[in-house]
A = this chain, B = another copy of it.
Amino acid sequence: MAYEKILTALADTTRREIFEDLRRGPQSVSELAKGRAVSRPAVSQHLKVLDQAGLVSAEARGTARIYRLNHAGLAPLRAYVDTFWTGVLDAFAAEISTQMENSDASTRDQDD
Contact = CB atoms under 8 A, between A and B. Distances in A.
Number of identical protomers: 2
Contact of A81 (B11, B13, B74): B74
Nearest to A3: B10
A36 interface: no
Contacts of A71: 84-85, 87-88, 91
Contacts of A37: none
Given A4-B13, A7-B10, A77 B87 contact: no
Contacts of A84: 23, 69, 71, 74
Given A11-B11, A13-B4, A81 B77 contact: yes
* A-B pairs, 5 with minimum CB distance: A11-B11, A71-B88, A71-B87, A7-B11, A8-B11
